[in-house]
Amino acid sequence: MTKLEISTKSAKSAKSERSEKPAEQWGNGLEFLFSCISLSVGLGNIWRFPYIAFQNGGGTFVIPYLIALLVIGRPVYYLEISLGQFTGRGVVKAFDMAPLLKGVAVGQVLATAASITYYSSIMALTLRFLVASSGSELPWSRCWESWGSDCHDGSAGNGSGKMSPAQPYFEREILHEVPTIDNGVGVPNWQLVACLALAWLVIGGVLIRGIKSSGKAAYFLGVFPYVVLLILLLRAVTLPGAIDGIIYFFKPQWSELLNPLVWYAAVTQVFFSLAICFGTLITYASYNNFNRNVYNDIVIITTMDSCSSIIAGCITFGILGNLARETGVSDIGSVVKGGAGLAFISYPEAIARFEYVPQMFAVLFFLMLFVLGIGSTVGMGSCILRVVRDQLGLRSPPIWKLATGLAVMGFSVSIVYMTPGGQFVLNLVDFYGVSFTALILAIGELVAVAWIYGGYFVTKIKFPIFFWKTINSS
């Protein structure tokens, strides 16, 4: 078969089993497509992919990532979309097919809840940068006297071994970062808390009207980021030394391909970038028409997702190549400190080097990051709200109450990331609460669908490949 579609022969019986038809459905197929694009092509690609690639050796990471995307990512994407569309239920109710493993679905919702808290903190940082970009001069375009002599803005002197202005600006002026959290995480920064409140206000505002609102917003959320990305790509590749960085991004260290940690990072990044094994895709697909053919949608979404990650990588590593030349560092892998803040160092550095109206491009870029955050967090929030509705048996609840409650709780929890030690907490939650958890839960999901429910499920679904039938028969 070349298409994913509900089997006509079994459609009638399957429809009768879809007893809990959702009160809401997408307005049309394009709303579903663009909603999935804004969910999958989000902060996981533009913010997370570059720093994970940087931590794992650039080209050494890209090869395992692409392999994992094709071998694991796309098949699981098919699986989750078809499962959500087939059952018409949220992720926890969908696991009624295998009650013994319903805890897997609960775990996915908890991982999604953890993700939405720190994704909202990234949105808060983008708003803080957005405000800083509105002045007559970008504050990270030059070194401040208070930063000392370890900053080099390229205007004079030898910059060997020194930081570009974007790094101390982010760490000292935005985060007020502390070197360790031995003495606690510190007191939240009121400016970042205000930005966080605004971020949750927007998230809650989109969620309040349900998928009818988020579906309409998805047209903008799915298209606008690509315009800004292409502008940044053109600028990044024309910077002196950018080619060296891009070569580093694509050139693998073959010996490191045997490192299991690199493969672990690649697989978990695929989960993040495609938003699989978090329950969000099952939720989105549950609002589809039962007979909708989503094969073309899935091909478009997964292709755009991988291309977005590669474009983001080229931009980031092109900028790092330029920074390496400017600061006299021969090893691109050590030109800046890695971590979750890499995007807030490399991208602003490139924008500061724009000859004409860099402030305008800075505003566009951070607005793009914020828009990407909306697409990701709205999908996560929709998943959580759907689970609450399903578990409480609420067919048509006042959605604004649930959305408001989620926004208030999410804001309260996310404040911890707005402290001087917040980045340490973010890294802990990212690894132990989300990445590692998603990998374990993915195994449970495959067991539930392929072995426990598999024979019955496969007879009702026509897959574009025989992969899942092979799993089930084994």
**Residue ranges of the binding site for Na(+):** 41, 45, 273, 372, 376
Could you give the angle at which helices 295-327 and 74-87 cross, rounded to 10 degrees? 140
Give the separation between CA 121 and CA 427, rounded to whole angstroms.
Answer: 12
Give the separation between CA 426 and CA 340, rounded to whole angstroms.
Answer: 8
Measure Cα distances from 402 to 89, 262, 407, 408, 413 in Å: 18, 40, 9, 10, 17
Query: Under a CB-based contact definition with an 8 Å cutoff, are residues 166 and 159 in contact?
Result: no
Query: Under a CB-based contact definition with an 8 Å cutoff, are residues 349 and 262 in contact?
Result: no
Give the separation between CA 248 and CA 262, rounded to whole angstroms.
Answer: 16
Task: Please calculate the CA angle 172-176-178 and round it to the nearest 5 degrees.
Answer: 105
DSSP class per residue in 67-133 = HHIIIIIHHHHHHHHHHHHHH-S-HHHHGGGSGGGHHHHHHHHHHHHHHHHHHHHHHHHHHHHHHHT
Q: Tell me the binding residues.
A: 41, 45, 273, 372, 376
Q: Tell me which residue of 252, 423, 240 sits closest to 320, measured CA to CA.
A: 240
Query: How many helices (H) and strands (E) in the chain?
Result: 22, 2
Three-state secondary structure call for residue 348: helix
Helices (H), 209-337: 211-237, 242-250, 260-274, 280-286, 295-327
Return the percent helix, strand and coil in the chain, to nearest 5: 75, 0, 25
